[in-house]
Amino acid sequence: MHIRPATEDDIPLLRDLARRIWHACYPGIITVEQIEFMLGWMYAAEKIRDELRAGFTWKIVEEDGAAIDRKSTRLNSSHTVISYAVFCLK
């Protein structure tokens, strides 16, 4: 397993991973319509780009050369790391 920092070039991959992971994990918990809403809101290309430029750290988890997860973190004002997106395709 390899974890690497994501760049703006990875935004399409981050969005694809989010879509696949959300549709694998959330049906039955929330509606497909809500999944689509959340994906559009949280994983819009512009939002990810803005987060990368604002200092959020996005990571891509790879196994056997295939991306299987994505994760974002940020440091808040009290110097605590906030971690987001802890789901995986495997």
Give residue 67's pLDDT.
66
Please check whether residue 73 is in contact with residue 4, taking contact to mean a CB–CB distance below 8 angstroms: no
pLDDT at 60: 84
| pLDDT of the residue at 47 | 93
Going 27 to 31 to 37 to 42, the CA torsion angle's sign is negative
Adjacent-strand bridge partners of 84: 72
- pLDDT of res. 65: 78
Q: How would you write the pLDDT of the chain (90 residues) with one tens digit per residue?
A: 888 889 999 999 999 988 998 999 889 999 999 999 999 998 999 999 998 998 888 888 888 877 665 666 555 566 555 555 555 555
pLDDT, residue 32, reads 96
Q: What is the pLDDT of residue 55?
A: 85
